[in-house]
Amino acid sequence: MSREAQNKLENNIIPTAEKFGLHEVVYTSFIKQVDYSDAFTPADYHYALTSVLEAPPSLQLNLQGLGDHRVNCFWEAYDLF
């Protein structure tokens, strides 16, 4: 997205978000890109890891197995990137 379009979008989003009580809708960040592969922002990593960590357990899992499930989710998230 061009810098001009980003500025225009930011100038329109902030006043609209304030009307609805939304805070921190726009934030500055950086992008990680290796070679010609996809570019990822810290927010991309955050949402991907959070979704893996918070994966719902299966219905057959009892309370004792819940701890094991959380440990497995942690290691899956650890290996994700």
The model's pLDDT over 41-63, given as tens digits with 9 standing for 90+, comes to 788 888 888 888 887 776 565 66
Is pTM beyond 0.75? Reply is no
Query: How many folded domains does the chain comprise?
Result: 2
First CA to last CA distance, the chain: 26
Place of tokens 């100038």: 11
Residue-number span of the structural domain to which 50 is assigned: 37-81
Q: Which of 40-50 are b and which e, b meaning 16 or more Cβ less than 10 Å from the residue's Cβ?
A: eeeeeeeeebe
My answer on whether 4 and 42 are in the same domain is no
Same domain, 26 and 55: no
Residue 33 burial by Cβ neighbours in a 10 Å radius (0-12, 13-18, 19+): exposed
Q: Which residues pair with 40 in a beta bridge?
A: 32
For residues 56 and 49, what is the distance between their CA atoms, to the nearest angstrom? 14
Instruction: Let me know whether 50 and 16 are in one domain.
Output: no
Both 18 and 48 in one domain: the answer is no
Are residues 80 and 44 part of one domain?
yes
43 and 72 belong to one structural domain? yes
Q: Are residues 52 and 75 in the same domain?
A: yes
